[in-house]
């Protein structure tokens, strides 16, 4: 199944909730996502059965990677029941989850692994307590997240990927120490350029630390060299330490957009299908799902949506002159 720019669909990112126990400054700033913010209601969320149905159709059309995200996916009750269903779908080669790690106890990690989860990505923006606390907006210390990363690896969700969003003047001074901490541990830290997802973070180009700068900061202390991508369309550029002590990833979505190889579809927690992280409208799959539509009819709808896809927001970012309303990251899923 190819889109209008000849890109196949290969990954489906599934947001299971728009809620989160963190208030990261670049994602759910407190002044907007406060006590009066209106999140989706339980009845608006797709059930695990509904998500499984959509996922099966996508897998029949070429999707091989499923990623659960949010909001914070571990705040959704018994997420392992969904993982069990998804891991039983024939053709899924990769099933992973992205989490802030705050709720990842040993018991939870074991349940996730036992239900068929293969990999996990845990976000951590700084090893420095004050910086991390100010970035997550809820005063959460880094130590439990570091523990969660080790726990995940210990139950077999290895290698653990660690996501760090780098924002100029906020945590750029934490890049080198994070690289140093994870060097030689087997965990792979990935530095992400701060993106203009949604509107509430009031993104400005000057706040982005580019991939080139990140390479520079790390390379000054630890010589690195490029490694070849694991697969076509991989978002992270891989770099390995010359002394053999592991690798890092850099996600250059702003400075080197990768729309031409973008094979990702996104399903929001309330069942809207988005064909780009920066989309401002989605296609409702929940209504047909709940109206007794057959799988064949749903598949036809999905084929029509994907084949009309022309999204390449990041490539066009520099030439955008008007501010368009965009979907928030916590809603659409990272």
- Would you mind telling me the total number of residues written for the chain in this entry? 334
For the chain, strand residue ranges (E) read 11-15, 65-69, 94-99, 119-123, 161-166, 188-193, 224-226, 237-241, 247-251, 264-267, 272-274, 283-284
In the range 30-49, which residues lie near ligand SAM by CB under 6 A?
A: none
66 binding ligand SAM? (CB under 6 A): no
The one segment of 2-10, 93-101, 217-225, 242-250 that binds ligand SAM by CB under 6 A? 93-101
Spatial distance between the Cα atoms of 259 and 311, rounded to a whole number of angstroms: 8
Give the nearest distance from C-beta 222 to ligand SF4 in angstroms.
Answer: 27
The one segment of 54-62, 83-91, 92-100, 277-285 that binds ligand SAM by CB under 6 A? 92-100
**SS3 of residue 96 by DSSP:** strand
Q: Alpha-carbon dihedral of residues 214, 183, 142, 111, nearest 10 degrees?
A: 120
277 binding ligand SAM? (CB under 6 A): no
Which strand (E) or helix (H) includes residue 59? helix 48-60
In the range 188-227, which residues lie near ligand SAM by CB under 6 A?
A: 192, 194-195, 197, 201
Backbone angles phi, psi at 20, to 5 degrees: -155, 150
Spatial distance between the Cα atoms of 38 and 331, rounded to a whole number of angstroms: 12
Footprint on this chain of ligand SF4 (rule: CB under 6 A): 20, 22-24, 27-28, 70-72, 100, 123, 257-259, 262, 264, 276-278, 311-314, 330
Say which entry of ligand SF4, ligand SAM, none residue 313 contacts (CB below 5 to 8 A, set by partner kind).
ligand SF4
100 binding ligand SAM? (CB under 6 A): yes
246 binding ligand SAM? (CB under 6 A): no
Q: Alpha-carbon dihedral of residues 95, 99, 101, 103, nearest 10 degrees?
A: -90
The one segment of 102-110, 174-182, 187-195, 266-274 that binds ligand SAM by CB under 6 A? 187-195
Say which entry of ligand SAM, ligand SF4, none residue 272 contacts (CB below 5 to 8 A, set by partner kind).
none
Applying CB under 6 A, what is the total number of residues that bind ligand SAM?
20
Of positions 69, 151, 200, 314, contacts ligand SAM by CB under 6 A = 69
Q: How far is CA 43 from the centre of its chain?
A: 24
């Amino acid at each position: 199944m190819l889109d209008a720019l000849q890109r196949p669909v290969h990954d489906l990112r599934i947001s299971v909730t728009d809620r989160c126990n963190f208030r990261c400054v670049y994602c759910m700033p407190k002044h907007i996502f406060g006590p009066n913010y209106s999140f989706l209601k339980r009845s608006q969320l797709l059930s695990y059965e509904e998500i499984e149905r959509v996922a099966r159709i996508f897998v029949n059309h070429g999707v091989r990677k499923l990623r659960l995200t949010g909001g914070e996916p571990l705040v959704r009750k018994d997420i392992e029941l969904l993982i069990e269903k998804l891991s039983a779908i024939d053709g899924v080669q990769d099933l992973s989850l992205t989490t802030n790690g705050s709720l990842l106890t040993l018991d939870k990690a074991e349940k996730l692994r036992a239900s068929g989860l293969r990999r996990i990505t845990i976000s951590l923006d700084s090893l420095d307590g004050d910086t991390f606390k100010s970035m997550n907006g809820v005063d959460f210390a880094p130590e439990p997240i570091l523990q969660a990363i080790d726990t995940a690896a210990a139950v077999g969700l290895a290698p653990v990927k660690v996501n760090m969003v780098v924002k100029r003047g906020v945590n750029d001074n934490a890049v080198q120490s994070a690289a140093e901490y994870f060097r030689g541990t087997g965990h792979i830290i990935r530095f992400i350029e701060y993106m203009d997802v949604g509107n509430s973070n009031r993104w400005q180009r000057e706040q982005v630390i580019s991939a080139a700068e990140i390479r520079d900061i790390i390379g000054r202390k630890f010589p690195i060299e490029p490694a070849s991508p694991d697969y076509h369309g991989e978002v992270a550029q891989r770099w390995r330490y010359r002394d053999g002590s592991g690798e890092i990833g850099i996600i250059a979505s702003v400075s080197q957009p990768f729309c031409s190889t973008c094979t990702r579809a996104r399903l929001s927690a309330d069942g809207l299908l988005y064909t780009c992280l920066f989309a401002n409208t989605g296609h409702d799959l929940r209504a047909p799902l709940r109206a007794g539509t057959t799988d064949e009819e749903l598949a036809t709808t999905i084929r029509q949506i994907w084949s009309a896809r022309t999204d390449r927001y990041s490539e066009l970012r520099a030439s955008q002159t008007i501010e368009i309303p965009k979907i928030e990251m916590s809603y659409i899923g990272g």
